[in-house]
A and B are shown apart, each in its own frame.
Chain A
Amino acid sequence: MILVEDTVLGHAALYAYLAGLTDRNLLVEGLLKPLAHAPDGEPNAQSIGATAHSAAPCRPLADIEEAENSIAEGEVILWVQDAFYSFLLPQFDKRTPQEPPTSAVLKGPREGFGEDIGMNISLLRRRIKDKALIVKKMQVGALTHTTVAVCYLSNVAMPSVVQKVVQRIQSIRIDGVVDSAYIGQLIADNPYSIFTQYSTAEKPDIITAKMLEGRVAVMVDGSPMVITVPCLLIEGFQDSEDYYRGNKRTTFLRVIRLVGIIIAVLLPAAYVAVQEYHYQVLPLKFLQTVINATSGVPFSPTIEMFVVLVLFEILNEASVRMPKYVGMALSIVGAVVLGETAVNAGLLSSPAVLVMALSAIGLYTTPEHIGSLGLLRFVFLILAGLFGFVGLLSAAVVTICYVVTLNNYGVAYAGPIAPFVMADIKDSFVKAPLDRMITRPYSIPSQGRTRFRKEDEE
């Protein structure tokens, strides 16, 4: 903390502030100099405010405790004649908007949110230039005093949902919030669920689109990730670029993502079930190939697949944690050296490695659900190893039943598929042309259903 003794309107005074959080030029030119050189007078909020630079608004403080909190928040405190005044002269190193690494696109806007909540709100306001955009700010965290902003469109979002979000955030009692994920987890309906209860996005165009459908966005100071609720399972299969390209291509890609997920979750388990119990499913020639490839492997198919999947998870975790270039080297070591050597040594079979590779690739078609589906495939694998197709399908039924009965903010998580809402199928696993998107989705509660109206051509 920096302490500066000086005079203010002819009276001895003390300035206090934290280095690195205050614009030093503005402090000297806008505050210290004008107040020191001003003629003598009675120091109060009005006279100090009139003398200081307009960029440094003056706020009187009640007591020393409030002054301490203001210093901690990065403000400059002036102590003169036993009274405290604060000035906000912020200087933060902040990132300029740039393309976020999690949402790189070929077509479409490239700017992304940063860590400064003010900048993030301004990015949102640049896209929604209407008074309907409401930003409610509040502070969460007893020690961090983190600013959290709830953003919504007052004529689109359902008031009950907004109220529920605001109430849940206000009821949070925590020492600190360091990322929006904290808020996301604390306001979730089902905190024990392995499925994501909130969506995250790093780009203002995605958040704008979601708010236009009636969702509520929550921004947290210091986090580039903005969360939106209510959340649907199907959001994981949608990408911002889907809306910037043709609907046929988009539909095709969404089906491909679905197939990718099915392969990712079911293929390892199905491979094990077939090999352990139901080999008669395979055509004879295919079966011969599998038997030739797996003969000599010392593990049972279940153990073998389990080992392969665990190895993949270890490699994945290591390559994500490592610096970029080391991570690339690690990937090569994992893919080529380990995989190739293990197959040549006869410890693993090539079909198992192939199945694992296909499963891993399929998993990354929907990054939003990697966490939950990555766990599920282990559960499916174990049950398939124990009970064959019966175990695998029982696990699938239970999982689907769990998903279709999951609710968040009164919204069915598996909508619009279950419950089936025909009107919303236009933007689910298929995508209709934009001029057919006449109404907002029924699966998300909102006011004013119509979002598109074509004027008659003259």
Chain B
Amino acid sequence: MRFLNAYNKLTRAEVGILLLLLLSTFRICLLPAVLSQVAGESCVYVMLSGLAIDLVICVAALRVAGMGGIGGLRLHPVVRRIFCGVLAFFFFFKVTVHVYEAVAYCVNDLFEQASPLLLMVVFVLTSAFLAHKGFAGIARTGIMFMLVIVFLAVLSVFFAAFGGYGYNLWVLLRPHDVGKGLLQSMLWLGDGAIFFLADTRTSVHPERHFRWGILAFAVVAVGMLFFYLNFVFTYGSAGQYVRFAFVRMLTNGDPEELGAVDWPIMLIWLVSVPLAVATHLYAGCEGLRQCVSRREHGGLPFLVVGTIAVMVAYYLMFPNGDGWRHLVESTAVAYTLVGVLGLCAVVAIVAAFWGRPKGQEVRQ
């Protein structure tokens, strides 16, 4: 059975899609909400700082992925196992946090009659199915939805042009308290570390599609950035000063009601949640596999264990929402800073000096 390690092979385009999904999904909706309590208007800058840290991790991780992943490095087995174990725990923790936040968002804003536990089961099972298909499956699914997202981004630009939306963007030029709240948001960083467990030595006809791929990627990236900013202003801390920006953008009418553009964007976010969660879940399972097992194949038990662990963790922490948030914003900071970022730096240095690149492989 081809599983886990067989599905961590990614092309350049798929790396880009995953990166966009990871960087946008939870920062768009969740991080601004957390930051709004401490950072106020400057949350955008905090997020951009986080983005910079993530990009550094990402560059290192992609360098490792280009060598075939963490298994392609000359690391002592114990070091590799520790690194994979830390990453696995980190990703499982992120999965639980993201699922918690996604369910909370749905129950509070979208789907008031729903049972949170049932929604959690739906999210986790959907993500587990996607994780079963690996990075490649998630990225390909993302490609399908990116087409819709780009379409909506273009639509947003159209409405912005006729709705005076440009006014809201001036917020960016009035910074204060830059950097405040960054520490509390550390758990939301480190998404790029998933690529330590990926293998990007594969390619589908790279020489024929590179230029077109770059162009398409650029269009998607610009669309996502615009979409990202829109959503931050609408549902993040921006809610404090530009309530329901899309409504204003569209009609300049009652800011207390959701507008026509808000709904499609919320629906798209609902699609990107399982994709982002599944990416972390798969990374967690692959990390666990590399930490525990020496076998090249077989990983279904790790996925089952990971999925059940996430559900149990959610169930145990669910009744105490505030304590949960406190845990995330305190313990996770130290853990993320010391554990993940430190280890990522070590592995990146090892990769730079003692990595052993493997030959190119071509996936059909």
Contact = CB atoms under 8 A, between A and B. Distances in A.
Interface in B197-211: 204-205, 208-209
A418 B144 contact: yes
Given A388-B114, A421-B205, A442-B205, A414 B140 contact: yes
B111 A388 contact: yes
A441 to B, nearest CB: 12
B204 A419 contact: yes
Contacts of A400: 141, 144-145
Interface stretch (B57-65, B158-166, B233-241, B268-276): B268-276
B138 interface: yes
B129 A401 contact: yes
A278 interface: yes
Contacts of B138: 401
A23 to B, nearest CB: 50
Contacts of B258: 280
Contacts of A404: 137, 140-141, 143-144
A2 interface: no
A393 interface: yes
A390 B118 CA distance: 11
Contacts of B136: 405
Contacts of B137: 401, 404-405
Interface string B123-139: 10010011001001110
A401 B279 CA distance: 13
Contacts of A423: 205, 208-209, 212
A417 interface: yes
Nearest to A280: B258
A390 B143 contact: no
Contacts of A405: 133, 136-137, 140
B278 to A, nearest CB: 8
A419 B140 contact: yes
Measured as residues with beta carbon below 8 angstroms from the partner, the interface class of chain B is 35 or more
B209 A422 contact: yes
A142 interface: no
Interface residues of A, number: 32
B11 to A, nearest CB: 7
A390 B130 contact: no
A400 B213 CA distance: 21
B113 interface: yes
A389 interface: yes
Most B CB contacts (10 A, CB to CB) among A278, A280, A401, A422 go to A401
Given A398-B129, A423-B208, A387 B267 contact: no
Contacts of B140: 401, 404-405, 412, 414, 418-419
Contacts of A410: 364
A390 B141 contact: no
Given A397-B275, A419-B11, A390 B270 contact: yes
Interface in B4-29: 11, 13-14
Interface string B250-292: 0000000010100100010011001100000000000000000
Contacts of A442: 205, 208
5 contacts: A387-B119, A393-B267, A398-B129, A405-B136, A423-B209
Interface of B: 11, 13-14, 106, 110-111, 113-114, 118-119, 122-123, 126, 129-130, 133, 136-138, 140-141, 143-145, 147, 204-205, 208-209, 212-213, 216, 258, 260, 263, 267, 270-271, 274-275, 364
Interface of A: 277-278, 280-281, 283, 387-391, 393-394, 396-398, 400-402, 404-405, 410, 412, 414, 417-423, 442, 445
Given A418-B143, A442-B205, 4 more contacts: A390-B270, A398-B130, A404-B140, A419-B143
Q: Which 10 A-B pairs have the closest CB atoms?
A: A422-B212, A404-B140, A418-B140, A394-B126, A405-B137, A401-B141, A418-B143, A405-B133, A393-B270, A422-B209
